[in-house]
Amino acid sequence: MSQSNVLQADFARASILREPATWLPLCRRGDLVANSGVVAWHEGVQVALFHLDQGAAGERLFAIENRDPKSGANVIGRGILGQLKGELVVASPLYKQHFRLEDGSCLEYPEQSLRVWPARLNGDAVEIGLD
């Protein structure tokens, strides 16, 4: 498989860049909605997938936990994407707190965070990395 067939998401800044031990397919490329979120199920956890098509800048894929820590509702995949302070974020639809797509940290409440997974497009498969 060529590198052009695999698009890997940026890993969290604080983490060491390394290849996950296992890549797990969650859905197909056709299930994604550009510049929006969709939700997939993985071992009892809902994973919000955000596919950003930035034209000439390329595509980016993020996988982040769907459960809002403040409300407990599974709504992050329906959040609004944007940029704050130079960071790509998703705003929770309920309390409007902003989570960084790169590492899941909350801008307004540092004690809140969402789990993130490495994500990639591998041909037609949407995959998340597992350790």
- Token pair, residue 52, equals 């950003």
- Token pair, residue 79, equals 């959040």
pLDDT for res 17: 54
Enter the pTM of the model: 0.83
**Measured distance CA(20)–CA(66) in Å, rounded:** 21
| Tens digit of each residue's pLDDT, the chain (131 residues) | 333 334 334 433 334 356 888 999 999 999 999 999 999 999 899 999 999 987 777 889 999 999 999 999 999 999 999 999 889 999 999 999 999 999 999 999 999 999 999 999 999 999 999 97
Q: Which domains does the chain have, with CATH numbers?
A: 21-130 (2.102.10.10)
Phi, psi of 54 (to 5 degrees): -105, 35
Q: For residue 23, give every residue at least 6 positions away whose Cβ sits within 8 Å of its Cβ, in sequence order, or none.
A: 120, 122, 127, 128, 129, 130
**Measured distance CA(115)–CA(39) in Å, rounded:** 14
- Token pair, residue 98, equals 């902003």
